[in-house]
């Protein structure tokens, strides 16, 4: 391993090797001009879904599930979906399906949102023997909704 502090990090972009600071800045500015907010939003949603699947133990890894991380990723993805669905076109179904699988995994885990989190248990406004609006509509209740 090189001890040269000016050496690019391992796996760095070989096209940027040997560039001075001004050239690197120009390359960075060109990349910022090329990239679009829509690209970042879609990539963020995909990253959240992939990370949540891993944190939820859905990828077959040996990592201990962390359903608080799954809940946060589900809530963030749900918040971004109205922005990215139009951009995804027919691929939106695949993203919605992945999100639904994560919501189901969270619900099956028995995890409960922390107090104050979106979807955390609140004082019920209906009698316990009367079904909630989500139950009576047949919709799946999902924490954070």
User: What are the domain boundaries of the chain?
Assistant: 37-110
**Ranges of H-type helices in the chain:** 21-34, 37-55, 67-88, 92-109, 133-137
Q: How many residues in total does the chain contain?
A: 145
Q: What is the pTM of this model?
A: 0.64
Per-residue pLDDT of the chain (145 residues; tens, 9 = 90+): 444 444 445 555 767 788 889 999 999 999 999 999 999 999 999 999 999 999 999 988 888 999 999 999 999 999 999 999 999 999 999 999 999 999 999 998 888 877 766 654 443 444 445 444 444 445 555 555 5
Quickly tell me which residue has 């910022």 as its tokens: 32
């Amino acid at each position: 391993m090189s001890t040269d502090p000016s050496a690019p990090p391992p796996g760095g972009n070989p096209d940027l090797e040997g560039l001075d600071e001004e050239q690197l800045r120009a390359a960075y500015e060109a990349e910022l001009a090329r990239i679009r907010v829509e690209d970042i939003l879609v990539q963020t949603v995909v990253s959240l879904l992939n990370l949540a699947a891993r944190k939820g133990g859905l990828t077959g890894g040996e990592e201990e599930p962390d359903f608080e991380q799954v809940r946060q990723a589900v809530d963030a993805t749900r918040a971004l979906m109205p922005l990215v669905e139009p951009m995804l076109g027919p691929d939106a179904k695949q993203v919605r399906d992945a999100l639904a699988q994560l919501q189901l995994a969270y619900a099956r885990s028995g995890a409960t949102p922390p107090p104050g989190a979106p979807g955390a248990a609140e004082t019920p406004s209906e009698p316990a023997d009367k079904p909630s609006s989500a139950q009576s509509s047949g919709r799946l209740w999902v924490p954070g909704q």
